[in-house]
Amino acid sequence: MENYVICKCKSVSYFDVEDAMHRAEQLSDVEKIFEDVQKQTHCSTGCGGCHDKIMDAISEILHR
């Protein structure tokens, strides 16, 4: 998978999201995963415009 910036406000990349997911306590609830990724990377805390892109990345990583 190619690495790219998803959250420009906080400079969070696809690989940052993937790394945060590997550190998450559980991977059964997508909203909980998003919260864990957000806590670790601070994504979607600036303008919020990347929320859907972050959710798409989480979904993609889960289904690999």
> Which domains, and CATH codes, for the chain?
5-62 (1.10.10.1100)
Which pLDDT tens digit goes with each residue over 42-61?
999 999 999 999 999 999 99
| Predicted pLDDT at 30 | 86
- Spell out the long-range contacts of 37-42 with Cβ–Cβ below 8 A and sequence spacing 24 or more: 41/7, 41/10, 41/12, 41/16, 41/17, 42/10, 42/12
Q: What is the pTM of this model?
A: 0.90
Q: What is the mean pLDDT of the chain?
A: 92
How high is the pLDDT of residue 18?
95
